[in-house]
Amino acid sequence: MPTLVIVGAGPGMGLAIARTFGSRGFDVALIARTKGKLDALTDQLRQEGVVAAAFPADVLDRPSLTAALDAARARFGTLDVLEYSPAPHSPVPGFTTVPPSEVTVENVQPQIEYTFYGAVAAARAVLPAMREAGAGTLIFTTGGGSVHPIPMLGNVNAAAGALRNWTLNLHNELTGSGVYAVHVAINTWIGEGGPEGIPAATPEQIAPLYWDLYERRDRSEIVFNG
């Protein structure tokens, strides 16, 4: 069976993407900080007939993230699709949002560590085996501000923009290798009842996009606007 690994798995987008792939024959490996949350998600997927396993790790602790991905590979044999989309957890010292004029090294560095460096570490853990096999998919998710920056998220968008730039360039490098890298920017409020005037979409409405990207492999980026 092919395996999907989700870094940053949670009860919203992570679960919806896991269900989307799991219902199509994928095994699922879930990575996040909290073991209890992961166990609840894996139990739910198993009740729905999806083979799933949990591997606790913190993306800010790169050795633990690499170890979790290695353990997932040992458990399932291969990691065929990586989806990276950790949501910032709280409380985390330094995780504040500021406009561009108030960005400092101190308040942008945690965002870069979390959003960008974590993605690089995850890719380095899975990409060699994918390249050797000549097959694999890497999906990196950010918010819409990575493409269309929002003043109130000056430091957050800078880190997401770095991830976006790197992913697009990784896509260019991997062309013809059999390994596919793509950036997803979700430019909506995820869930129901978002702020007035901001479009919203449920995880269940967004998740099929990921399967479409996996199957079609025909673009380096997609912006989901609802």
- Chain segment 96-135, per-residue pLDDT in tens: 889 999 999 999 998 999 999 999 999 999 999 999 999 9
Quickly tell me which residue has 């960008």 as its tokens. Answer: 116
Quick: pLDDT tens for 8-35: 999 999 999 999 999 999 999 999 999 9
Quickly tell me which residue has 């949990």 as its tokens. Answer: 54
The percent of residues above 70 in pLDDT, for the chain, comes to 95
- Alpha helices in the chain, H assignment, sequence order: 13-22, 35-47, 62-76, 105-111, 118-133, 154-174, 203-206, 208-216
Torsional sign, CA 57, 162, 192, 47: negative
pLDDT score recorded for residue 97: 87
pLDDT of 94 higher than 60: no
pLDDT, mean of residues 163-174? 98
How far apart are the C-alpha atoms of 21 and 24, rounded to whole Å?
A: 5
pLDDT, mean of residues 194-206? 79
For the chain, the domain total comes to: 1
The percent of residues above 90 in pLDDT, for the chain, comes to 83
pLDDT of 139 higher than 90: yes
DSSP 152: G
Q: How confident is the model at residue 91 (pLDDT cuts 50, 70, 90)?
A: very low
How far apart are the C-alpha atoms of 111 and 160, rounded to whole Å?
A: 8
pTM over cut 0.85: yes
Quickly tell me which residue has 């101190």 as its tokens. Answer: 106
88: tokens are 């910032």
Cβ contacts of 101 within 8 Å, gap of 6 or more: 154
The H or E element spanning position 81 is strand 81-84
Q: Is residue 94 within 8 Å of residue 106, measured between CB atoms? A: yes
For residue 122, give the CATH number of its domain.
3.40.50.720
121: tokens are 């570490």
Residue 117 belongs to domain spanning:
3-224
